[in-house]
Structures are given as structure tokens and as C-alpha cells.
Amino acid sequence: MADQKRKILVIDDDETSRSIVKFHLEGTGKYEVTSASTGAEGVQAARRIQPRLILIDILMPGMSGTDVAEKLMDSPATKDIPMIFLTGAVTKDDISTQGGFVGGRRFLAKPVSRQDLISVVDSVFQ
């Protein structure tokens, strides 16, 4: 029986960030990563692939990460998918003093280390 990898969607306008996240997560052998470079593309991809987790950059042109999250939470098809904001808009110190959450939302600060990324993603599935 083949191993079932958990699907993760990364929505980020920065190609390097998407590639690094994909490399680290797929390198564990536990995750299959799909990416989108715009908020609108990310919303469509989330509806289409139904990932188990979505990582979203906040600062993107056009549709911001918070706008993407609102659209996903307003849709019955995607409202229950966990989301983590992966952004340079907050610092690691901001996040660590609040236990990884800002405004009730889970955050990871860019640049994110491989260890921190995998640890937080793994915790979603435990």
C-alpha cells in the first residue's frame, strides 16, 4: 500500500520562498506541496485540491494573504482547512512572545528555518 502524503498548499508571490518551503516539506517524505503565486490562484487551487494545510504569505500584490484567508473561511469547501501565515511582516520575536500566534492566527516569520517550518507543520497534524 502506498504512503498517503498530506497535501499542503503554499500561496506566496515570491518564487524563492515557495521553492524553499516545497523543498523542506517534501524532503520529509510526509508532504506533497502545491504552490500558487497569487491570492486568486491560491483560492482556486484550495478549492480544487482540498489541501490539509495552507501556508499563506501576507504581503502579496492584488489580493493580500488576509484577503485570501477571508475568502477561504467564507467558503464551505475550504473553511475548515487550517491556515498558517508565513510572512516577513512580523518578526520571530513578535511570534515567540505570543506562542506562535498573532491576533489568534498561527504565524511563521520569514526567513523560516527548516526546523521551525517542519516543527510547526508537523504540529498541525498531531
Tell me the average confidence (pLDDT) per consecutive run of 10 residues in the chain, 126 residues long: 82 96 97 98 97 94 92 95 84 56 70 93 93
Which pLDDT value is given to residue 18? 96
| 47 occurs within a structural domain | yes
Can you give the residue range of the structural domain that contains 60?
6-124
Please, which residues bridge with residue 107 across strands?
85
Which pLDDT value is given to residue 38? 97
Which pLDDT value is given to residue 107? 80
Which pLDDT value is given to residue 91? 57
In CATH, what number is assigned to the domain containing residue 16? 3.40.50.2300
| 1 occurs within a structural domain | no
Which pLDDT value is given to residue 87? 81
User: Structurally, how many domains does the chain consist of?
Assistant: 1
Which pLDDT value is given to residue 94? 57
> Rounded CA gap, 26 and 12, in Å?
17
Which pLDDT value is given to residue 4? 87
Global pTM reads 0.89
Which pLDDT value is given to residue 89? 66
Question: Cβ–Cβ contacts within 10 Å for residue 53, how many?
Answer: 20
Q: Which residue has the cell 524553499?
A: 20
Alpha helices in 50-83, H assignment, sequence order: 65-74
